[in-house]
Each structure stands twice: as C-alpha cells, then as structure tokens.
A = this chain, B = another copy of it.
Amino acid sequence: MIPPLMNTASRKQREIAAREELILDCAARLLGEVGYQGLSMDRVAEAVEYSKGTIYQHFDCKEDLLAGLCLRSSQDLYDLFSRAAGLDLSPRERLIAIAFAYQLFIRLHPLEFANMQTLKSATVREKTSAENRCAMQTIEAQVMNTLTQVVRDGVSSGDLTLPQGLTCEELIFCLWATQYGAASLGISGIPFADYGVPSIAGALQKFNNNLLDGLNWHPVSKEFDYAATQRYLEQQVFNAELRMLQDDAETRQRKSS
C-alpha cells in the first residue's frame, strides 16, 4: 500500500522528531562525560554530527536544550512515581513507596537531578521556550496530582484524619520539600556524615515514619512492619533499578583499580 501524499510531511516530521531525540541523547551522554560546565553547543553539534545551526532549529538556546533534558528526566521521575503510587498497598505504604522512588531516581540520575535543580532557578526558566515550559507544567501538575491523590486516599479510607487547618496539598508540599531538600543537601557537598547523619536515606525513612505516626496515619508503625515494606520495595518492586546501581558502582570500582 502506497501511503497517502499527506504522509510526506509526516515522515519529515518524524525525522525531525528523531533528530531531536538524538540531540537529547547525545546531550545527556555528554552531561555524564564532561559535566555541566563542559557541556557546550559545539560539543553537542560535534556529537550529533550536525552543524550548530541545526541544533538551533530544534532549541532556541542552550537553556532550552537543557530544559529539554529536564523534561525527559521529569517524565522518567513521573513514571517511577506512577509505579509507586499504583502499587497494591495501603495509602501510607504507597506514600513511602513514592519517597523511595524519589530517592532512587536521584541515585540513578544524579546529574539529571542537578540539572533539574539548576534549570528551575527561575532566571534560567524564563529563557526556555514556551513549548518546553508548558510541557513542564503539565508534568508538574500530574506529579502533584498523583502525590495528592495518595493522601486523599488515606483520608477517604479513614486511615488518616488531617489535623485542623492542614490541607492535603500543604501536607504533600511539605513532604515533597523534605525529600527534595534532603536530596539537594545530599549532593551539596556538606559532609553530613561528619555531623552525625551517616545515611540520608536512613534518616529520611525514620523521619517519615515518625511524622506519619505523629499524624496518626493508620496503620501506625507499632501495628505494622514498615521495614518489610522497605524490603519489598528493594527486593521486588525496584529490584532491577537497584541492581543497575550496583553494577554501575562495580564498573566504577573496576575502572579505578
């Protein structure tokens, strides 16, 4: 069957879309190889084997390209969140699963997370294209919605009674802030291990459990083995991802020795 003539334009569009993915792939790889500082439009152009002018047909400016990377990372993060939020577990367990997924994402993609941080710094955000900004907002809204839904489930199932004046959204915002802040501080280079915090992930787990117990979110940790939930997440749900992390660590060790 000969495709209709209309598809000629569509084919070109597909080619362009494919090249955009190629640019983003190369940029992501370069980010890992030469770091944020070393990433230049020249290098990207060289890596994709197109001229700089062509790159600029896809992205308005360097910030826009980085925003494209940020968008893909955000999508990956959202996918992990969705998996966590969709598990067949109690609302409180699912919230823990989301926190787990967040910390996992940051360990899997530390450079992308750092990039996301830089990109969100408002001054940079303004320079990105309207298209990218809009797509970003869509994902943010989806994430916020997925997270809030878990708290709402907790409330509607009767497991959680929100304290006077605190809304679902405010609670989620503060929980998010804790995870985000902990991750940011974690990659900031402040030697928290020297200050009595040997494991950030461990501190967060304990903190979360105490916080949710304090809110009297059932089942309370006295009534339920949340350590088993952690093990379930590690060994079953996110086993493949954790294995990848270990492989990476081993490869790095082999390289340095």
Contacts and interface: CB of A to CB of B under 8 A. Distances in A.
Interface stretch (A22-30, A51-59, A76-84, A193-201): A193-201
A166 to B, nearest CB: 5
B174 A122 contact: no
A152 to B, nearest CB: 11
Interface centre among A118, A181, A182 (most CB of B within 10 A): A181
Given A184-B180, A211-B211, A214-B215, A203 B118 contact: no
Range class of the A interface residue count: 35 or more
Interface string A180-208: 11101101111110011100101110110
Contacts of A204: 174, 177
B123 A35 contact: yes
Interface centre among A148, A174, A190 (most CB of B within 10 A): A174
B195 A185 contact: no
A138 interface: no
Contact of A184 (B114, B123, B184, B189): B184
Contact of A169 (B118, B173, B189, B196): B196
B117 A121 contact: yes
A213 B210 contact: no
A195 B163 contact: no
Interface in A9-58: 35-37
A176 interface: yes
A120 interface: yes
In the A-B complex, list the 3 residue pairs whose CB atoms are closest, starting with the nearest: A214-B214, A181-B181, A169-B196
5 contacts: A117-B121, A120-B188, A163-B206, A167-B197, A169-B195
